[in-house]
Chain A
């Protein structure tokens, strides 16, 4: 006979490790944020109440970074969803060499972020990089992609979109493949055009996948670190400094662990809030195929 506690025992080692690596650090971060621990205190933690938090609220660099991070995440994820859907639709249609195309499409996502960021540094280089060479060939002036504080963030977004769209595309492709072909065929028989099919059938049925991709990417994008550290180092003039980078700098360069923890915790709350929001907004249960026939009438 089955003993339910035996299966719990099986889960124990893995869950124990997870608790140590996830829960305990989160607790630590919470604790640290309420303490001063920096060079000033001789690197020893000293409780200082909400002082770190008060500093956070007044820290304009924090809020600038938060604005950038949010902007970055929203624009990045938005573009990735649109582009990802297009790519997924493209990959969905049967064609020769589809496997190879999928593999190639996957490449940007599979490669290490720092490696790609390094590559993009040269691509964006002013004036010698290939993009500027292209501009010059078109008789346009060279652009400082990574040197103008107002627009650099867009090019960081581009690099991120290039890397992460394949993941979204794959997810949406899985969703497309789970839609029975008969549904589309039946709509086509009723005279619906491509756009209509997309709008009335494909997108509603794809909603759970879109939600999954959105939630996943949103959380990851809000924690962007690799890209900004290697590509721009947070510049120019801190305009592309993400919250994660700020927390890292506070800890590793300024050795202010207490404040770093505070930034981390604030970022975590932001991530939690936004992913929850995204999930709640899009969480309509996907219509069943039978229900969709009703939709199509």
Chain B
């Protein structure tokens, strides 16, 4: 059974890997191995020699992801802390509202966000993408961190208060160090969502060298830049998946904990 699950999850990805490493001719007809040979790295070379080179998109996505993650956390921490201190109906209403925002399919906001970008002159600027990304990730981040704050023993902060530590000191020296795992999980999830976001990136950026990964892939998919495109498509898929693949494998415990903790308390 487990093997089946493994196969089901990996098969399409393994197929991409295979496709990216064989010549276009071999891809079409494995039997008739033509003059070009079977295995090749030419698909990757095509991508890396394209204009702009493919790694550029990975770089863009990383930058936007990192900035979004850092700023999201910076805003989410005080919000979650303040929220946890609320009582009763205000807290309940806010949590409900945040939950609704977290579930909301953000693609529906693309039009007014586009107008926002135009009126504020934010189009075609890489870092400007962080702004909507922060906002789109805040609901989830706040919910997760609030749950983490709620998990801390209540006495701890009381003891720190009695020792004369004021709020910033309490956060910095007592609460946040204990929140490290939750901060890690939240950071990874935010990074993940920023990396994978498509509609806003698609509409806010049109200059090729600024494209993040998802719209870049879509552009490759829609173009006829390559002769028989599927080898290059596969290579793009592999390169596009690799960073996240590694991240998931390394941080899987963190990701799973973040999701499940959020669900438990949410």
Q: Residues on A close to B: CB < 8 A? A: 2, 4, 6-11, 13-15, 17-18, 20-22, 24-26, 28-29, 32, 87, 90, 95, 99, 101-108, 110-123, 125, 128, 130, 162, 166-167, 170-171, 173-175, 177-178, 209, 212, 215-216, 219-220, 222-223, 225-226, 229-230, 233, 244, 247-248, 251-252, 257, 260-261, 264, 267-268, 271, 275
Q: Residues on B close to A: CB < 8 A? A: 1-2, 5-6, 8-10, 12-13, 15-16, 19, 27-29, 75-76, 78-79, 81-83, 85-86, 94, 101, 103-116, 131-132, 134-136, 138-139, 142, 167, 192, 195-196, 198-199, 203, 213-215, 217-218, 220-222, 230, 233-234, 236-237, 240-241, 244-245, 247-249, 252-253, 255-256, 259-260, 263-264, 266
Which chain B positions have C-beta within 8 A of A244?
Answer: 105, 107-108, 199
A111 and B241 contact, CB distance less than 8 A: yes
B82 and A7 contact, CB distance less than 8 A: yes
Cα-based distance from A170 to B19 in the complex (angstroms): 30
| Closest residue of B by beta carbon distance from A20 | B135
B261 to chain A, nearest CB (A): 8
Which of B75, B139, B221 contacts A117 (CB under 8 A)? B221
Cα-based distance from A103 to B254 in the complex (angstroms): 11
A9 to chain B, nearest CB (A): 7
Which of B9, B220, B221, B230 contacts A108 (CB under 8 A)? B9
Which of A28, A104, A108, A167 contacts B115 (CB under 8 A)? A28
Which chain B positions have C-beta within 8 A of A24?
Answer: 112, 116
Which chain A positions have C-beta within 8 A of B13?
Answer: 107-108, 119
Known: A90-B5, A118-B237. 6 other contacts (CB 8 A): A7-B82, A32-B111, A99-B253, A111-B241, A162-B8, A225-B105
A103 and B252 contact, CB distance less than 8 A: yes
A17 and B75 contact, CB distance less than 8 A: yes
Cα-based distance from A105 to B69 in the complex (angstroms): 24
Which chain A positions have C-beta within 8 A of B198?
Answer: 112-114, 225-226
| Closest residue of B by beta carbon distance from A125 | B230
A247 and B196 contact, CB distance less than 8 A: no
Which chain A positions have C-beta within 8 A of B85?
Answer: 2, 4, 7
A245 to chain B, nearest CB (A): 9
Which of A7, A20, A102, A117 has most B Cβ within 10 Å? A7
B196 and A102 contact, CB distance less than 8 A: no
Which chain B positions have C-beta within 8 A of A220?
Answer: 103, 105
Which of B2, B196, B220, B248 contacts A107 (CB under 8 A)? B248
| Closest residue of A by beta carbon distance from B110 | A248
Cα-based distance from A174 to B214 in the complex (angstroms): 30
Which of B27, B116, B220 contacts A25 (CB under 8 A)? B116
A148 to chain B, nearest CB (A): 20
Given that A14-B75, A14-B79, A28-B112 are contacting pairs, would A219 and B214 also be in contact in the complex, using a CB cutoff of 8 Å?
A: no
Cα-based distance from A135 to B245 in the complex (angstroms): 30
A18 and B101 contact, CB distance less than 8 A: yes
